[in-house]
Structure 1
Amino acid sequence: MNAIPPGRAQLRSRRVNLDTGRENVVVISRRSTALRPDLFRGFSRVELRSGSKTQLATVLLTDDDGLVGPDQLGMAEPAFRRFGQPAGTYIAVTPAPSPPSLDAVRAKIQGKTLEAPEIGAIVDDLVHYRYSDMEIAAFLVSSANFMTSGELIALTEAMARAGTQLRWNTKTVVDKHCIGGIPGNRTSMIVVPIVAAHGLTIPKTSSRAITSPAGTADTMEVLARVDLSVEAMKEVVASCNGCLAWGGHVNLSPADDILIGVERPLALDTHEQMVASIMSKKLAAGSTHLLIDLPVGPNAKLTTASQAMRLRKLFQFVGDRFGLVVEVVTTDGRQPIGRGIGPALEAQDVMAVLANEPQAPRDLREKSLRLAAHLLEHDPDLRGGTGYARASELLESGAALRQMVKIIEAQGPAPSASKIGTLTIDVCAERDGVVAAIDCLRLNRLARTAGAPLDKGAGIKLYKKIGDRVEQGEPLYRIHAFEPSAFDLAVGMAQLDSAYRIEPQAGAAP
């Protein structure tokens, strides 16, 4: 048994079935034999210590001896997992002050410009789970109010250095990233096999959905395993020139995942924080050439060309500072890309494009080819201006499909089969006319309400896009779900607002 320093209580750990998200939480009995509740007045945290292992946690008190006994320390799932010691371990517990870096957060709230060491200390405390969600929110809100270019560079660098840093044995490592917000925009799963089939290295790490009905990692997981270790990821890239893996599993810029988890519920999405988030992950991934896709549309994250221009300049500024070649393209964000919204439905679209099926969505195919062309132009052996022709050749010849099959086999089988949701209903046009607008944000929410991405086969199958003619009663899209409760909620939501605006045809009688 480890010696307990003077003044520290000693309690036996007990695993408590509580999911507290990012926060480390422990539970102590109000009748604790080793700690008095009044010790925690003025303190929101305790320090846990066992040998060389230390951890900060938020403490809760309970009167339920069935949950935690007087001689026990209940550890919620995240705290138990991170502490890494078996149940029954004797742990020293003492009140703990707040992390010193919170002084910098308070200074930022008051309008001070932070120095690089202060930002580095904040990021270090973030990745070691020393901040509560409330303290993370305070940092995000203070930074959202104003962030200098120096603070942006310091935050990007600190976040990139905080986790795994990948390096590759090649001079050119290409990557692409879309800032998101557009349903069905699964271009990465087509771009990667095209670029990899050409011979360029493209180790694509992607995120899971947070507020959308599918992230690239969720959709790829319909086809293959995505939770690759660093070693497994390197093996796949060595044999296939590319991969489509979940970035969270290889611990790239772990502070970013923590910040995003608090940022999204607060609807904070400032340009500076977005750039630091994306660029830190690309720097950690070892990219040398990066293509950024900025969709612009009335319901997209960027609604105007001027917003896109400002964001483009921020990406290029940070790229220049770190020696990362950044190219930024603006794309049409007025409507969904492809026909599927939700992991399994989107995977169907991807494979249809790669297989050159006649009914494959043309918009997804065309956008993917154009993005792949930009990346292929970074090959010094490819004649300038021929990127699109080369991308088309690789797709039409079947080389891209063969490369995708090779990547899928190298990454391993999907964890489970993903069938399309069997509870369905068609949402139909209420009048004759032409589709004038589609609300991407509402369709995203509708697909999530139906169960995506938790139920990979849930979501929406689109039949009509902007400019299409429709007749009253003609299907606009089909909702797919598994759970009756989710299905009923989605149907009710669609009945209130289908997300489609239909206007009379020019020249038609009113």
Structure 2
Amino acid sequence: MLKLKRIGIDTHRESIAYLNRGCTVYQPEEFQALAKIEVVGPDRQMPATLNIVDDPELLTPGELGLSEEAFRLFRLPEGTPVCIEHPRPLESLEAVRAKAQGHILSAGDYTAVIRDIAALRYSKMEIAAFLVACASFMTTEEVLNLTRAMAAVGHRLDWGDKWVVDKHCIGGIPGNRTSMILVPLVMAHGLVIPKTSSRAITSPAGTADTMEVLARVDIETDEMRAIVERIGGCLVWGGRVNLSPADDVMITVERPLGIDTREQMVASILSKKLTAGSRYLVLDIPVGPTAKVRSQAEAIRLRKLFEHIAGALGLMLETIITDGSQPIGRGVGPVLEARDVMAVLRNAPDAPSDLRERSLLLAGALIESDRNVKGGQGIRRARELLESGAALRAMERIIEAQGPSGNGLAASSLSSEVLAPRAGMVEAIDCLRIARVARMAGAPSFKAAGVDLLKKAGDAVRKGEPLYRIHAGLKADLDFAAELAGQDSGYLVDGMVETA
């Protein structure tokens, strides 16, 4: 037996085990480095990827180390006697090979693959093979089977006979934090909305990253349920609630590889909404030249696939196609986006009107799912709740229930401005470029980093006037972001892409 040791290495949702090369219990050559193993404890076992360690100060020959993520998942204290085993062969990989050869997979095939992915039995290479194979082609029936398989693993919330609503945006638009305004609006109306959201992987902020500026979001399922039962809603990180764990694992491979097919997107989103216990979903599909969806025709095809799969799952769905031609609000990055959200909720005179109006539109659609609200009256009701301060009070209840973070809403003072090279009109803003600059500045890791948009499309600018301000956590990050913006600011002025 080996003694369990916690190794303080963040491997980002990947379970890594460490074995000393001089181990006297096992021959490391038997368990080739970077191979999968099974870590076996007194009452549980867990798959992990093995790394071999040469430094005896990090790990002695009689210890088995676990990364932070693996240690969290294994849930046994340091010093616990453990052993390691070779993993059993994965029969589900035959389905992956079949899919790579162009075959249509059965419901059972998808269930087997997803179960093994959720159990962390697949390496990233094997997950990538599955995703690429599915990206080649999937039938509509396969999308349905994949969605059901993803929903079948992990927790599933049951709210009884409550009318539970939810909203999702397919993403790709910086600053689009409508959920943080919509949730308190819908709560203030009296509907139940247990909102789980993601953290950023390749973007400068996810809703969970931004909400974390205001309140704790790393909340377990039981606590989330208690909060929703008490106040009617929440804004928490979905990764801790474990609603569709296979999706959380696959996303860590999809996003860096840029794999984001509409079939996988539909399965990802609807599996989580199904397991969250939602009964009515409003889906926001932004369309724009640098958004995820680039044309109206593409948006309509995506909408039809969502409607078909949601209908087969018994989930009521309303799709709203919105303008994705430029960032929403002014801030891009957790603190800057939280600032915009609170400005809207506080009815501040300088609150971003585009963020306010889009939030009201989406909240109104959810409110109209209430049978006591007449068609066409939802947005009016939402506006009343916002202007009366009811939505702000609902947000304050969420913050109190989840636990205030204590963070301020001030952006980093380490900043640099990107200037207009000539007088003219801002004709367009590249969403992807602005997101990349904000991420290069340190967002979301450094919450006060990001981009503050001082001009939007349609605004007139004078030569030398700031287009946007970059905020960074470190001088090196500021230099990197400023250099990127200098190559291409992401702004079209008078029909030409201009550099700072």
- Call closer, same or farther: CA 1:67–1:472 in 2, change over 3 Å: same
SS in 2 for 1:99: coil
2:110 corresponding residue in structure 1? 119
Rg comparison, structure with higher value: 1
Q: 2:194 aligns with which of 198, 203, 221?
A: 203
SS in 1 for 2:256: coil
TM-score (norm 2): 0.95
- Call closer, same or farther: CA 1:13–1:395 in 2, change over 3 Å: closer
Write the letter of the residue equivalent to 2:401: A
Q: 1:107 aligns with which of 81, 88, 98?
A: 98
Q: 1:157 aligns with which of 148, 153, 164?
A: 148
Q: 1:172 aligns with which of 163, 166, 182?
A: 163
Q: 1:31 aligns with which of 17, 22, 39?
A: 22
- Call closer, same or farther: CA 1:82–1:299 in 2, change over 3 Å: same
- 1:184-195 paired onto structure 2 within 5 Å: 184-195=175-186
- 1:449-464 paired onto structure 2 within 5 Å: 449-464=440-455
SS in 1 for 2:448: coil
SS in 2 for 1:28: strand
- TM-fit CA distance, 1:415: 5.7
SS in 1 for 2:493: strand
2:76 corresponding residue in structure 1? 85
Determine the C-alpha separation between the residues in 1 that align with 2:100 and 2:407. 47
Is it true that 1:336 corresponds to 2:327 in the alignment? yes
2:380 corresponding residue in structure 1? 389
Determine the C-alpha separation between the residues in 1 that align with 2:146 and 2:247. 10
TM-score (norm 1): 0.93
- TM-fit CA distance, 1:43: 9.6
Determine the C-alpha separation between the residues in 2 that align with 1:258 and 1:25. 14
- Call closer, same or farther: CA 1:311–1:425 in 2, change over 3 Å: same
- TM-fit CA distance, 1:102: 1.3
Q: 1:480 aligns with which of 471, 475, 480?
A: 471
Kindly indicate whether the alpha-carbon contact (under 8 Å) linking 1:27 and 1:59 is maintained by their aligned counterparts in 2.
Answer: yes
- TM-fit CA distance, 1:96: 2.8
SS in 2 for 1:126: helix
Determine the C-alpha separation between the residues in 1 that align with 2:102 and 2:356. 47
- Call closer, same or farther: CA 1:42–1:354 in 2, change over 3 Å: closer
Determine the C-alpha separation between the residues in 2 that align with 1:110 and 1:237. 46
Determine the C-alpha separation between the residues in 2 that align with 1:393 and 1:498. 39
1:257 corresponding residue in structure 2? 248
Q: 1:364 aligns with which of 355, 358, 361?
A: 355
Q: Deviations over 1:233-256 (max 9, x none)?
A: 223223332211111121111111
- Call closer, same or farther: CA 1:35–1:240 in 2, change over 3 Å: closer
Determine the C-alpha separation between the residues in 2 that align with 1:40 and 1:246. 36
Q: Once superposed, which parts of structure 1, at least 4 consecutive aligned residues long, lie more than 6 Å away? A: none
Determine the C-alpha separation between the residues in 2 that align with 1:236 and 1:52. 32
Is it true that 1:136 corresponds to 2:127 in the alignment? yes
- TM-fit CA distance, 1:118: 1.7
Q: Number of matched residues?
A: 496
Q: Deviations over 1:35-64 (max 9, x none)?
A: 234434699332322333222223233443
Kindly indicate whether the alpha-carbon contact (under 8 Å) linking 1:221 and 1:415 is maintained by their aligned counterparts in 2.
Answer: no
- TM-fit CA distance, 1:310: 0.9
Determine the C-alpha separation between the residues in 1 that align with 2:483 and 2:159. 50
1:288 corresponding residue in structure 2? 279
SS in 2 for 1:335: coil
1:444 corresponding residue in structure 2? 435
- TM-fit CA distance, 1:299: 0.4
Determine the C-alpha separation between the residues in 2 that align with 1:256 and 1:504. 41
1:498 corresponding residue in structure 2? 489
Write the letter of the residue equivalent to 1:286: G
1:238 corresponding residue in structure 2? 229
Q: Deviations over 1:71-115 (max 9, x none)?
A: 332333333332222333332223334322112111111122111
SS in 1 for 2:91: coil
Q: 2:342 aligns with which of 351, 359, 368?
A: 351
Gaps of 5+ in 1: 1-9, 506-510
- Call closer, same or farther: CA 1:95–1:361 in 2, change over 3 Å: same
Determine the C-alpha separation between the residues in 1 that align with 2:89 and 2:69. 20
Write the letter of the residue equivalent to 1:502: V
- TM-fit CA distance, 1:231: 2.7
Of stretches 407-416 and 106-115 in structure 1, the one that deviates more from structure 2 is 407-416
Q: Deviations over 1:199-240 (max 9, x none)?
A: 111111111111111111111111112222323222322333
Determine the C-alpha separation between the residues in 2 that align with 1:174 and 1:125. 31
Kindly indicate whether the alpha-carbon contact (under 8 Å) linking 2:176 and 2:327 is maintained by their aligned counterparts in 1.
Answer: yes
- TM-fit CA distance, 1:69: 2.9
Q: 2:258 aligns with which of 264, 267, 281?
A: 267
Kindly indicate whether the alpha-carbon contact (under 8 Å) linking 1:418 and 1:456 is maintained by their aligned counterparts in 2.
Answer: no
Determine the C-alpha separation between the residues in 2 that align with 1:146 and 1:241. 41
Determine the C-alpha separation between the residues in 2 that align with 1:198 and 1:142. 45
- Call closer, same or farther: CA 1:54–1:369 in 2, change over 3 Å: same
1:4 corresponding residue in structure 2? none
Write the letter of the residue equivalent to 1:266: L
1:428 corresponding residue in structure 2? 419
**Percent of paired sites with the same residue:** 55
Q: Deviations over 1:443-485 (max 9, x none)?
A: 0011111111111111111111111111101111111122111
* Aligned-pair Cα RMSD in Å: 1.9
Kindly indicate whether the alpha-carbon contact (under 8 Å) linking 2:419 and 2:466 is maintained by their aligned counterparts in 1.
Answer: yes
- 1:310-325 paired onto structure 2 within 5 Å: 310-325=301-316
- TM-fit CA distance, 1:157: 1.2
- Call closer, same or farther: CA 1:316–1:166 in 2, change over 3 Å: same
Write the letter of the residue equivalent to 1:463: L
Kindly indicate whether the alpha-carbon contact (under 8 Å) linking 1:432 and 1:504 is maintained by their aligned counterparts in 2.
Answer: no
